[in-house]
Structure 1
Amino acid sequence: MQFDLGATLIAPLWMLLAFVGLGWLCARRLAIDPRPIATLLIYIIAPLTFFRGLTLGGPTPTYLLLTLGTFVTASLVCLLVQRLIRPFFPDQEVALLAFSGGTGNTGYFGLPIAMVLLPPEGVTLYLFCLLGITLYEFTVGFYISARGQFSMRQSLVKICRLPLIYAFLAALLTSGMGISIPGPVMNALDVFPASYTLLGMMIIGMTLGRVSIREVDARFIGTCFIVRYGLWPLLVGVSVLVLQASVGIPGELAVALLLIGVVPMAANVVVVAMELSIRPEKGAIAVLLTTLAAPLLIPLYLSGLLWLTGMT
């Protein structure tokens, strides 16, 4: 599998960064409050986007095993990061860093890139890997984030109110019972993936439009970079090598897994921090800087990892 990564990725990467700039402009010039948009993403757009993707992809035991694998991996990384950084940061920042440690911008940022790099069957594999990360965000990750400010009971109640969990179960039920979604309904759902990416990236810029220079925290940002661009590429590179040597995996799946590991910090760090009121400004700065580094680092990392795993 050969890619001219520099030429292939440069346009979608800068397009996504342009969405961030558009969000910043909206916050500065139109004084748009990003909080209602964060709520809209969590409670409406994300659940419908993933319901559509799951029903189109047709969940199978193999696909769901990918979802389980990425969910468990993300949860374990979150708990590891939380344990390692607890002595060095305040509780709210520990919660935010732990949440961000288990995830990356696999949806708003990674999905458009996967659609450029992979054939349709590869995009389906990526989507089910991405689903595991997203389920982590809205279960274990959301709980860890909420525990930085709320009691255990309050945190569990907040998770139970998140519709993405029910959208996942509804898609499994629909597929398992062989229920066909009417064509007009699926056509209506086609607008949500693009809205998911656009608003998810714009909300970073909107949050940054309200940030002052005092919010810049080099120690916080450095920790984010180490986890996102240090731990995750190493983790996925080793995982792909182990899977290739043990069970053997197709090239499309290997690329999907590698892409999961090299995307920048998740925009949902800002979305969830905003929903829970846990320092969204700090999260937005770290997300922006890791995203600005993406046009350089993603082609570099993918080229190196593809070479390491024998795919170039």
Structure 2
Amino acid sequence: MTAQADLTQPLWMLLAFVGLGWLVARRLGVDPRPIATLLIYVIAPLTFFRGLVQGDPGPADLLLTAGLFTLASLIAVTVHRLARPWFAPPEAAVLAFSAGTGNTGYFGLPLALVLLPPEGVAQYLFCLLGITLYEFTVGFYLSARGRFSVRESLSRIVRLPLLYAFAAALLVNALAVPLPAALLDGLDHFKSSYTVLGMMIIGMTLGRVTLAAVDARFIAACVLARFGLWPLLSLLAVWLLQATLGIDATLATALLLLGVVPMAANVVVIAMELDIPPAKGAVAVLLTTLAAPLVIPLWLDALLSLAGLG
């Protein structure tokens, strides 16, 4: 399997959304903060609610979600402990948050739709859900603790609607509650806005960034976690699952794709929501995103070959 030809067009289209965000911030003076709030409190919960309801998760699907949630949380907690002696508390918090996740949604989901069959996309979604739940629980808490007390951090997590969207979707599936087709069709529109606005917000933030925000040490740590640690761990996970459970090529490809996407745009979104200066994170996100058209096809082809799927 060769990722180069399959991924070139969607990769450049996603970068075009970043450029569009930069343009509207520079020329129109659009403030990205309300859009960040809209993504967290409206668009992301409705997008995942629809995906879960249509996916009708079984025990194996929820095991994927739990596994990715656990892996992301362990990475973030470990990086946070290692980073605290070297970075200021807000920076260590943002670095830990970013280490546990990647742009698996805004960026990775369109790529999954290109690379994977429908059943593989469903498996990718449940993996993505685990990482997203990490972002809005453990990751959000670690980020908030860089600025707020334990009580304030927990109170902010309780207000996040994604948790309730997840519970509501599981309840709808468990009770076999039929949802009107018009409702599901309406919710389908949020999927596109989720990707477009999530990528645009990177460019919108960068439209306000100065050279003072370029921190080589912070950026290097972010890039190492994203393009060094995650590909290695995703390959190790695939090898382990192949040796024990005998997973198929589709699920293995979905897991490897999770490991090669750039830094999460939600690094910027969460920083804005918590009033943490987002500029340094935005620069690191941009650099890994700009590198994606080169890095992702090369990394993914290499990992697929090492996993015996090339």
TM range (shorter): over 0.9
Which residue of 27, 30, 33 corresponds with 1:29? Answer: 27
2:54 counterpart residue number: 56
Pair 1:171 & 2:169 matched: yes
* One-letter code aligned to 1:108: Y
Q: Deviations over 1:102-157 (max 9, x none)?
A: 00000000000000000000000000000000000000000000000000000000
Structure 2, unpaired ranges of 5+: none
Structure 2 CA distance, aligned partners of 1:70 and 1:31?
38
Q: How does 1:193-204 map to 2 (within 5 A)?
A: 193-204=191-202
The one-letter code sitting in structure 2 at the alignment partner of 1:11 is: Q
Distance 1:66 1:39 in 2: 28
Look up the match of 1:277.
Answer: 275
Query: What CA distance in whole angstroms lies between the structure 2 residues aligned with 1:185 and 1:176?
Result: 19
Q: Distance in 2 between matches of 1:221 and 1:101?
A: 12
After TM superposition, where is structure 1 displaced by more than 6 Å over at least 4 residues in a row? none
Q: Which amino acid aligns with 1:47?
A: P
- 1:1-312 to 2 correspondence within 5 Å? 2=1, 4-312=2-310
Say whether the 8 Å CA contact 1:75–1:136 is kept in structure 2: yes
Partner Cα separation in structure 1 for residue 164 and residue 248 of structure 2: 31
| CA distance in structure 1 between the partners assigned to 2:144 and 2:180 by the alignment | 38
What letter matches 2:173 in structure 1? S
* CA drift at 1:295: 0.6
Query: Gapped runs of 5+ residues in structure 1?
Result: none
Residue 84 of structure 1 and its aligned partner are, at CA, apart by: 1.2
Q: Secondary structure at the match of 1:105?
A: coil
CA contact (8 A) 1:24 1:206 kept: yes
Q: Which amino acid aligns with 1:48?
A: L
**1:268 is matched by which residue type in structure 2?**
N
- The size of the alignment, in residue pairs, is 310
SS at match of 1:103: coil
CA RMSD of aligned residues (A): 0.5
Deviations, residues 250-287 of structure 1 (Å, cap 9, x unaligned): 11110110011110000000000010011211111000
Q: Distance in 2 between matches of 1:67 and 1:251?
A: 18
How far apart, in 1, do the equivalents of 2:163 and 2:68 lie? Answer: 16
User: Does structure 2 retain, via aligned residues, the 8 Å contact 1:93–1:279?
Assistant: no
Q: TM-score, normalised by structure 1?
A: 0.99
CA distance in 1, matches of 2:210, 2:66: 40
